[in-house]
Chains A and B, each alone.
Chain A
Amino acid sequence: MPDARLDTLVHAETPEGLQLALRPAGLAPRAYALLLDWIIRIIVFSVAAGFLARIGGIGMGVYLIFYFLLEWFYPVAFELTTSGATPGKRMLNLRVIMDNGLPITPGASLVRNLLRVADFMPLAFGFGIVSMLWRSDFKRLGDLAAGTLVVYRSRTPGPVRLPDVAPLQPVVDLANDAQAAVVSLAARASRLTAERVEELASLVPESVLPNGVNAAHSKSQRAFGLARWLVGHRPG
């Protein structure tokens, strides 16, 4: 598990005894999401208002009720769907969950959205911004009271292909985390420049790397070969 000081990951334990890693979203994406939601609400509301204004008194009443619902319950309604996010949050790939990793409950959603009033004070979300910048899990006051967390919706990682080199048998026994480090390097190779890969591979101690098929093999190629062996490929 990565050093807690280096990362903002929040670890939540499931009833199955697993630690799930949640990645809280910071001020900027949440502010964009808020802005998007605000724009969506204005559009929906002006369309509705244009329509209801023609009906007269009843229309006016419905218009006010609609305004009330949109103002207070727009986020609640969307957070309780399976996506757990308002349209703005969904566009920014965010999601609201309980800080123990569970889906958000109706009570918690209502608390965090009613308390947005408190976050807004003294003006322009002053307290909310201070609270979010203060904490490593970026919670605003409403999140603190409700016990909720805004996290990034995890992107499903695509299939990973290790570089296609001949597997090389290890010359020394490697500990589990050392094995994982070598394999991670190989798995990231396709997303890095060749120079960078070479640079990273130079960090691997010479004593660990097996000899290549011929001496011309670069250090990174030998590390890839080792990685393929560790993952389970065998020559032939």
Chain B
Amino acid sequence: MSPFHMTPLSFEQRYGGDWNELEQLLKVAFGQSAWQSQKVERDQLGARLAHLYRCSCEHLAIARARAYPSYLTERLDDLTQRAHQLIYRQRSWGLDALRTLLLIGIPQQVRAHAQHVWLALAAFGGPLLAMGLLTYFDPTLILSLLDAYTVQNFTEMYGAGADSIGRTRHADTDWQMFGFYIMNNIGIAFQCFASGLFLGLGSLFFLSFNGALIGAVAGYLTERGLADNFYAFVVTHSAFELPAIVLSGAAGLQLGHALLAPGRRTRIHALREAAREAIVIVYGVTAMLLIAAALEAFWSSSRWVPPTVKYSVGAVCWVLVAGYLLWQGRPQRHARAR
């Protein structure tokens, strides 16, 4: 054998130092060990890591191609994997990404899936209107969805009595309700989205059910002559809440659609692509429901605001939300012909 013949042993002797150094730097980068290398400066860590990572990739490929002993390839494999995880870690957590998402990503994604949004709107709005009208003409129908005790609670809440909303509530109750709205409403929206995995049927069910429920309550309270209190209460926060529920359902329908009609992809592949796009809408839904919860707890419930002001602010909010979803983030029309 020639003296230059590389054996596993000489391979290890020659490059083992690099591997040990990479090991050490990885520990530093993962915060498991303090900085103690004399070879490079602290601010050179990234560059040195990248270099050593490329080396270990190369060494691993060589070791595998030459069928070096498994203890050697396993060690290199492990080292390379950990470095790989570190080097390709997503680091863009800045406000820039969030801004782009809010200003462009979310509304664009909503418009790109207009068909799902319309379907979700129909599944939500249809039962809402139908149940609203039905309960308006036959108030006993509400008992098919809610028990008598809950109905009575609603009546008292929006009635003129002392226990009605806003009259006896203090600041700390506002906070309590804020927490409740966040937990409850965002939970419902997440459920609407997740159940879309069952061919979209889950989303359709939750949309219709929630629509029917809201319609029934609205129809019932209107019939009982409590319309003023009720609509003044809900007009502002519903501008964020109702579109958010519809959008979460639309995001769920995207998942179901991908599974039903994957096109020229496998179902799993189609589902993954759909989920990657739908989750952007879920970000928007979460933000809208946070706004809705804050409004519902601190603004809608305040009795000192006259109904006319609430209606005006509510109208502005509806226009803002509609404008945001319909026009925000469209590409600029530039390079107009001169």
Contact = CB atoms under 8 A, between A and B. Distances in A.
Interface in B123-181: 170-180
A177 B180 contact: no
Contacts of A62: 175, 179
Given A57-B173, A102-B88, A157 B74 contact: yes
Interface residues of A, number: 61
Interface string B84-96: 1110111000000
Contact of B182 (A68, A157, A184): A68
Interface string B252-284: 000100000000000010011011100110100
B195 A184 contact: no
A64 B90 CA distance: 31
Contact of A16 (B54, B280, B297): B54
B210 interface: no
A105 interface: yes
A154 B74 CA distance: 10
Contacts of A110: 279, 282
A60 B176 contact: yes
Contacts of A82: 30-31, 86, 89
B197 to A, nearest CB: 4
Interface string A146-160: 110000001111001
Contact of B179 (A17, A61, A144, A184): A61
Interface of A: 14-18, 20-22, 56-58, 60-65, 67-68, 71-72, 82-84, 97, 101-103, 105-108, 110-111, 114-118, 121, 141, 144-147, 154-157, 160, 176-177, 179-180, 183-184, 187, 230-233
Given A108-B276, A114-B190, A157-B74, 14 more contacts: A16-B54, A18-B80, A60-B172, A64-B179, A64-B182, A68-B187, A72-B186, A82-B86, A111-B275, A115-B275, A117-B195, A145-B272, A177-B67, A231-B8
Q: Which 6 A-B pairs have the closest CB atoms?
A: A57-B172, A232-B7, A232-B9, A64-B179, A61-B175, A176-B67
